[in-house]
Structure 1
């Protein structure tokens, strides 16, 4: 089921929801990597957005 984008709350936006395709697509676009690379980074380093971006920069 898709998220209701009109509902906002105090969720932790510093985390990447690795099971959501739109999150993977956003991360890969922002970092300039492929979605497969983004998924591998999440598996390897967890879902902390800052840490993922740090490691993604090393791939480019």
Structure 2
């Protein structure tokens, strides 16, 4: 069973990917960059898997 993603976090991930950076995603979504970072951290922690690879 896969845990559900938070829709706002998923939107931040997709927007960051589309725009090429999470800083740009934050501007586009009208959120602070730290709010986006916290959503990504929460997503990685709650899914217990690597969301992104370096």
**Coarse TM-score class (shorter-chain normalised):** 0.3 to 0.5
Q: If the length of structure 1 is used for normalisation, what is the TM-score?
A: 0.37
Which has the larger Rg? 1
Q: If the length of structure 2 is used for normalisation, what is the TM-score?
A: 0.40
